[in-house]
């Protein structure tokens, strides 16, 4: 998802009298694609909301609104309160979900959880409404505006010392994630107790459709191993697909994926691996950095925590090769394949300066963690987890599964000297499918 907080906007004023705004005009993208009100029509509703949230603001002073580039799931508006606003004055971001299925409560829960349990800077949520009973007629969240620009926009312009600081701080952020652990995988959610206090809770990953009127599998909220997680997830997806698409899958792809997980476990990949907090989209576009008056740089905030999970520690170890190989990161050559940067992350950087950046990151994270970042088996384990998380609902997921299985079957003998059982599993499933077809054909003949 694009970083919403750093986009430039025009400095014109809205044509609505008494409504100040840093932007004017019609947003073709959000208006046409998401069926939104135009910016000019929407501004009065935002001002009305602001008056409700900051009632002490003088009627003679305006709130300054800034139209920012939204992401795929949220409409984004910057708000600057007038000096007379006594309730939490300052600069804020207003986020309005574009879709009804947005899990606003969970998104707020994970941000608050991260603020409470890590040193990673995040936005501070100051107001929210999960209903449509407000001037916007939609749920919304208002949070503090993180200073600075996203690293996607500024990294290539930084001098070596600032890049070195980013490499160090990026490693420290990952260590902060690794330190937050749980006994089982899943999502962070929250509720309020009878006293109104905020209570965090953990729940299993979403698998749709879930069975109706059946109690939740107790194993999902019990202490698990990494292998337990994979086996349970593939069991759940297999059952869900049978409910949603009976007889549509001639082969049980989840049986093959379970075989991969068991072979990874037997090869020792999951030894001493915990369930840690993992931001699943920790990329330069989602990280804000602020250049200080003394010309130093500080990572000022991390955005888009809504996809965060508790998962195997290696899940958070996709190598940040953009730190020492930015030109490769920017290269959009489709012939390279989506895993190109990860496969080549441990190549020697092109320049001595880039080599220093790579060493700095590795020193901070520690040599014991390097296998998770660079060794191919853990790249495949991350792919296996992503399939376990989202299932096989699209053609590209099946293609990714086939590539994973082929690559794992080629890699396993190099790791252990043993061949994969995947070929035998596939043959067995094909035979079972043919037997089922034969039985069905005989039944039709008898009819």
Other C-beta atoms closer than 10 Å to the C-beta of 242 total 13
Which of 41, 22, 39 lies closest to 30, judged by CA? Answer: 39
Question: Encoding tokens for residue 174?
Answer: 């990952």
Q: What is the pLDDT of residue 4?
A: 42
How does pLDDT run across 220-229, given as a tens digit for each residue? 999 999 999 9
Low-confidence stretches of the chain (pLDDT beneath 50) = 1-27, 32
Q: What is the pLDDT of residue 249?
A: 65
Question: Encoding tokens for residue 369?
Answer: 């963690």
- In the DSSP assignment, the letter for residue 100 is T
Q: How far is 411 from 407, CA to CA, in rounded Å?
A: 6
Q: What is the pLDDT of residue 24?
A: 38
Question: Is the full-model pTM beyond 0.75?
Answer: yes
* Greatest Cα pair distance in the chain: 86
Q: What is the pLDDT of residue 367?
A: 95
Q: What is the pLDDT of residue 299?
A: 98
Q: How far is 47 from 79, CA to CA, in rounded Å?
A: 9
Q: What is the pLDDT of residue 87?
A: 76
Partners of 344 in beta bridges: none
Other C-beta atoms closer than 10 Å to the C-beta of 111 total 23
């Amino acid at each position: 998802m694009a970083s919403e907080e750093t986009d430039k906007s025009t400095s014109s004023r809205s044509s609505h009298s008494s409504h100040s705004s840093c932007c004017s005009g019609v947003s073709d993208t959000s208006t046409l694609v998401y069926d939104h009100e135009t910016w000019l029509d929407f501004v009065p509703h935002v001002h009305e909301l602001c008056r409700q949230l900051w009632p002490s603001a003088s009627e003679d002073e305006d709130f300054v609104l800034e139209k920012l580039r939204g992401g795929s799931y949220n409409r984004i508006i910057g708000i600057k309160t007038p000096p007379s606003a006594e309730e939490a004055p300052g600069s804020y971001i207003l986020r309005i979900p574009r879709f009804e299925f947005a899990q606003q409560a969970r998104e707020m829960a994970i941000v608050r959880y991260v603020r409470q349990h890590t040193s990673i800077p995040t936005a501070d949520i100051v107001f929210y409404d999960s209903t449509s009973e407000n001037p916007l007629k939609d749920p919304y969240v208002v949070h503090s505006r993180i200073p600075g620009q996203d690293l996607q926009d500024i990294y290539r312009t930084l001098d070596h010392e600032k890049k070195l600081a980013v490499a160090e701080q990026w490693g420290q952020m990952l260590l902060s994630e690794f330190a937050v652990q749980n006994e089982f995988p899943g999502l962070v959610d929250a509720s309020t107790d009878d006293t109104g206090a905020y209570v965090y809770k953990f729940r299993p990953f979403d698998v749709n459709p879930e069975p109706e009127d059946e109690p939740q599998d107790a194993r999902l909220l019990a202490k698990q191993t990494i292998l337990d997680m994979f086996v349970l997830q593939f069991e759940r997806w297999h059952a869900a697909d049978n409910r949603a698409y009976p007889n549509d899958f001639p082969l049980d792809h989840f049986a093959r994926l379970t075989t991969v997980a068991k072979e990874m476990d037997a090869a020792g990949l999951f030894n001493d691996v915990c369930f840690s907090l993992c931001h699943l989209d920790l990329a330069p576009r989602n990280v804000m950095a602020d250049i200080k008056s003394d010309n130093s740089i500080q990572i000022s905030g991390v955005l888009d925590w809504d996809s965060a999970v508790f998962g195997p520690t290696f899940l958070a170890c996709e190598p940040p090769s953009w730190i020492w190989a930015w030109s490769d990161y920017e290269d959009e050559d489709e012939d390279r394949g989506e895993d190109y940067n990860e496969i080549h992350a441990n190549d020697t950087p092109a320049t001595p300066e880039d080599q220093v950046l790579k060493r700095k990151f590795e020193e901070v994270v520690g040599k014991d963690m390097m296998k998770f970042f660079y060794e191919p088996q853990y790249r495949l384990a991350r792919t296996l987890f992503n399939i376990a998380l989202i299932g096989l609902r699209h053609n590209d997921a099946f293609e990714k599964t086939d590539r994973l299985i082929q690559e794992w079957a080629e890699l396993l003998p190099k790791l252990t000297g043993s061949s994969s059982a995947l070929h035998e599993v596939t043959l067995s499933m094909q035979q079972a499918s043919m037997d089922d077809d034969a039985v069905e054909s005989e039944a039709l003949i008898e009819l």
